[in-house]
Chains A and B, each alone.
Chain A
Amino acid sequence: MAITVKFFARLREELGMDEVQLDFVAGLTTQQVWQNATRQEVLPAKTLVAINQQYASEQSLVKDNDEVAFFPPVTGG
């Protein structure tokens, strides 16, 4: 009963971690997962969220074994 939380790019550097495992708690949104994982209240502006490698929102619900990722706006190409 766990979820994996990943951070990329500037967020990864600022938080000083690229991945953390959290106990699964039913009914949590990605916003609440962010708070539990980082001890920070607010998701930084413009942060993008993915669940199981697909874009999701701050209000999306997280299921057991999900991989939740937080990252800044993308800058490829």
Chain B
Amino acid sequence: MAVYLKNGLFDPFKEVQQHQQQLEANIGKGQYGASAVFIGSMRDFNEARNVSSMTLEYYPGMTESALEVICQEAKEKWPVLDTLVVHRVGDIQPNDSIVLVAVWSAHRGAAYDANRYIMEALKSRAPFWKKETTASGGHWVEKNTPA
């Protein structure tokens, strides 16, 4: 189970590959039959506005622990072998990856369900706040879009 906050670009596919190699080193190859990977990226539009860039504020300490609690909940609800969450903070440009959630389990059902659970819980409980920059200035995003 790992949680990382990154202040700068990250390659989600490389993160998944590295974490999976570590997982195989820890529990051996052939243990997982399913890896569910979700990657969220920054759009250049939101609520009918063109967005040129964005800043993600967070609460150092609480953000990490909230994400760890969410992943732990997922492990208690489903037979999950491992989880990885990576989230950007700071300044972000359109098309940048913002969030990665990866879940490894023996079967696809648990991997899909746990991945969705972590992502939705992150959206409603992890302390991150987006401030978008548009032609008319900076705007705090008031609420997340529906799934």
- A residues with a Cβ closer than 8 A to B are 6, 8-10, 13, 48, 50, 53-55, 69, 71-77
Shortest CB-to-CB span from A52 to chain B, Å, is 9
Once A8-B59, A53-B59, A53-B61 are accepted as A-B contacts, the answer to whether A75 and B119 lie under 8 Å apart by CB is: no
User: How many B residues touch the partner, as a band?
Assistant: 20 to 34
Shortest CB-to-CB span from A73 to chain B, Å, is 6
Q: How many A-B residue pairs have CB under 8 A?
A: 72
- The residue of chain A having its C-beta at the shortest distance from the C-beta of B138 within the complex is A13
- B residues with a Cβ closer than 8 A to A are 40, 56-59, 61-62, 65, 87, 98-99, 119, 122-131, 140-144
Whether A73 pairs with B143 at a CB distance below 8 angstroms is yes
Bound form: Cα–Cα A77–B140 in Å: 15
The 3 nearest A-B residue pairs measured at CB: A76-B128, A9-B129, A53-B62
Once A9-B140, A72-B140 are accepted as A-B contacts, the answer to whether A77 and B59 lie under 8 Å apart by CB is: no
Once A69-B59, A71-B59, A77-B98 are accepted as A-B contacts, the answer to whether A8 and B127 lie under 8 Å apart by CB is: yes
> Apart from A9-B140, A75-B141, what 7 extra A-B contacts exist at CB < 8 Å?
A50-B59, A53-B62, A71-B127, A73-B143, A74-B125, A74-B126, A77-B99
